[in-house]
Amino acid sequence: MRKVLGFLIVVACAAAIAAQTQPYTRESVWEKEIASLLEIDKKQTPPQNAVLFVGSSSIRLWTSLREDFPGVNVINRGFGGSNLEDVVFFAPRLVLPYRPKKIVVYSGENDIEAGQSAENVLADFKAFLAFRDKNLPKTPLLYIAMKPGVLRWPIWPEMKRGNELIKTEIRSHKHAQFIDVAESMLGPDGKPLPDIFLADGLHMNAKGYAIWRRILLPYLK
């Protein structure tokens, strides 16, 4: 049994490594949206010494960031539907130019939904960490845990496993923290609170973001 388990672990790790050696092919998918985000900087000068939020739709739809964190300069560069590998690829354009005070990342959920393993998500997260360590080594990185949701509850076990892998990885890095929001989003029955999501059961409403705000606020003060 141990030999079988060991073999499966080796296969999973090999698959994750192989995924990282594949050339990035999704640039054209996001080019228009990335261009529109960068166009914002032409219309208004982005704040200096800001907290940069980047990631998928849970970041993009967080339209109340300024109100939720008064006194904190924030920049929202989320792009909906993106995977962690997309965030890594576009980091030189969406992260580096701002020289942020802190970086807040939410990504990985779409990856699991697309059939990737927790090991794949970890490998992409490690790539983002490597980017940070090379270019912004003293900039704190806050990773918001993948959230349990109504729509994607069937794949929650794999997302939870990905959270644990990333949490363990972060322990070995300086200026990086794992922000666990998952537990607070579950009800007494151990399932996602239904009233913190929009009708699609995927994206959060104001109640959901209030939970994130409460947990994240101490890290941004």
Q: What pLDDT, on the 0 to 100 scale, is given for residue 182?
A: 97
Report whether 146 contacts 105 (CB < 8 A). Answer: no
User: Would you state the pLDDT for residue 21?
Assistant: 57
Q: What is the pTM of this model?
A: 0.89
Cβ atoms within 10 Å of 83's Cβ, excluding its own: 23
pLDDT tens digits, one per residue of 45-79: 999 999 999 999 999 999 999 999 999 999 999 99
49 backbone φψ class: left, alpha, beta (φ>0; ψ -120 to 50): left
The Cα–Cα gap between 93 and 72 comes to 22
What's the longest Cα–Cα distance across the chain? 61
8 pLDDT more than 50: no
Q: What angle do CA 67, 69, 70 make, to 5 degrees?
A: 70
Compute CA 51 distance to the chain's CA centroid, rounded to the nearest angstrom: 14
Strand bridging mode 176-179 / 141-144? parallel
Q: Is the pLDDT of residue 124 over 80?
A: yes
**Residue 174, CB-side half-sphere exposure with 13 Å CA sphere:** 6
Residue range of the domain that includes 10: 2-220
Mean pLDDT calculated for residue range 126-143: 97
Quote the mean pLDDT of the chain. 91
> Which of 160, 159, 163, 127 minimizes the C-alpha distance to 143?
163
pLDDT value at residue 203:
97
How does residue 14 score in pLDDT terms, banded at 50, 70 and 90?
very low
116: helix, strand or coil: coil
Name the E strands within 60-137: 74-78, 102-106
Over pLDDT 90: what percentage of the chain?
Answer: 87
pLDDT greater than 70 at residue 127? yes
Residues with Cβ < 8 Å from 98, sequence gap 6 or more? 46, 50, 52, 75
Q: Please state whether 159 falls in left (phi above 0), alpha (psi between -120 and 50) or beta.
A: alpha
What CATH number is associated with residue 11? 3.40.50.1110
Domain count, the chain: 1
